[in-house]
């Protein structure tokens, strides 16, 4: 059986010409953080990510499906399905990469969210870093913010890549909750724009728009909103249940979200 990293690589290669699949950087254990660009190079550009949390790694399948279906009218999209490959492989097959830290924590692997160093990548970005209500200061399965913002290779690579390609919006897939988060201390003008987009997207894919920052901090979405000034959405797939979720659990959401990148690009073009 193929592991999630192999599935991601094959899925992206099937979705695009082989030479268009590239790596935005390496994980702590030397795995590639794979990306493909599809669509036009002009017009609105977006970044779509998934699986920054290890135990949510099959959200990658939703993004791979989007990449293969993407029409690319009016803009283009960067698809990065598996932001945390080491964590995903630890979750999926107990891969420890020879690290004592992961060996010690093997019994936690099915609830693991962090990377191979026990840093929760979605708390490691430079956006009110360390002020989140759930933040912890010790490495482990989840919520550890790391020693400083962007100390983890994976979050650093994603931040640097996003700053380089300057997208007009980003979407990040997580699970679970059937919810969409969009707010992070925007100014009044940005808030208006971002709420319009959030509302339209939530209605389109059948999730609940949640207002407020909910005392989160250091997330990729937070970074995109605060540092890049763009709308950034976190989408929590799967309404209810309990971790770990198998790949099949994402099939229905995959269908509902399949054309979301194209829809979002059309929304962005209608905003400007």
Binding flag, residue 174, Zn ion (CB under 5 A) = yes
Nearer to Zn ion, 70 or 220 (CB): 220
Q: What is the DSSP string of 188-248?
A: HHHHHHHHHHHHHHHHHHT-EEE-S-TT--S-HHHHHHHHH---EEEEEESSS--SPPPGG
Least distance to Zn ion, CB of residue 141, Å: 12
What is the rounded CA–CA span in Å between residue 190 and residue 80? 25
> Is 15 or 54 the residue whose CB approaches Zn ion more closely?
54
Considering beta carbons, is residue 48 or 268 the nearer one to Zn ion?
48
Among 17, 58, 57, 52, residue whose Cα is nearest residue 37? 17
Cβ-based nearer residue to Zn ion, 174 or 221: 174
Closest to 162 measured CA to CA, from 258, 119, 226, 75: 226
Q: Least distance in Å: CB of 109 to Zn ion?
A: 16
Question: Which of 108, 104, 48 minimizes the C-alpha distance to 72?
Answer: 48
- Cβ atoms of 8 and 66 within 8 Å: the answer is no
Q: How far is the CB of 73 from Zn ion (least distance, A)?
A: 30
Sequence-separated (6 or more) residues with CB below 8 Å from residue 206: 178, 256
- Output the six-digit token pair for 176: 């679970």
Stretch that binds Zn ion, among 31-39, 48-56, 152-160, 218-226 (CB under 5 A): 48-56
Nearer CB in complex with Zn ion: 227/243: 243
**Cβ 174 to Zn ion shortest distance, Å:** 3
Minimum distance between the CB of residue 44 and Zn ion, rounded to whole angstroms?
26
Size of the site for Zn ion (CB under 5 A): 3
Assess 38 for contact with Zn ion (CB under 5 A): no
- Distance of closest approach, residue 14 Cβ to Zn ion, in angstroms: 26
If binding is defined by CB under 5 A, does position 53 make contact with Zn ion? Answer: yes
Beta strands of the chain (E only): which ranges? Answer: 21-26, 32-39, 44-50, 75-80, 169-175, 179-181, 208-210, 232-237
Site for Zn ion in 114-133 (CB under 5 A): none
76 or 254, CB closer to Zn ion? 254
Residues that bind Zn ion (CB under 5 A): 53, 56, 174
């Amino acid at each position: 059986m193929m592991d999630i990293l192999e599935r991601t690589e094959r899925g992206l290669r099937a979705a695009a010409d082989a030479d268009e699949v590239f790596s935005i950087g390496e994980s702590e254990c030397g795995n590639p953080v794979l990306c493909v660009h599809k669509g036009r190079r002009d017009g609105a550009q977006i970044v779509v990510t998934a699986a920054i949390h290890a135990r949510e790694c099959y959200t990658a399948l939703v993004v791979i499906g989007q990449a293969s279906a993407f029409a690319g009218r009016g803009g283009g999209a960067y698809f990065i399905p598996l932001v945390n490959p080491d964590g995903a492989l630890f979750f999926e097959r107990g891969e420890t990469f020879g690290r004592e830290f992961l060996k010690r924590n093997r019994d936690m692997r099915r609830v693991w969210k962090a990377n191979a160093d026990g840093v929760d990548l979605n708390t490691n970005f430079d956006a009110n870093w360390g002020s989140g209500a759930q933040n912890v200061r010790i490495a482990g399965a989840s919520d550890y913010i790391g020693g400083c913002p962007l100390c983890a290779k994976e979050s650093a690579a994603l931040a640097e890549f996003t700053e380089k390609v300057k997208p007009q919006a980003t979407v990040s897939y997580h699970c679970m909750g059937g919810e969409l988060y969009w707010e992070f201390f925007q100014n009044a003008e940005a808030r208006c724009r971002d709420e319009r987009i959030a509302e339209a997207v939530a209605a389109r894919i059948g999730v609940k728009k949640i207002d407020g920052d909910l005392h989160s901090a250091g997330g990729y979405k937070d970074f995109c909103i605060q540092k890049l000034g763009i709308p950034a959405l976190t989408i929590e797939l799967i309404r209810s249940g309990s971790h770990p979720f198998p790949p099949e659990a994402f099939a229905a959401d995959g269908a509902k979200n399949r054309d979301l990148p194209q829809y979002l690009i059309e929304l962005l073009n209608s905003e400007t």
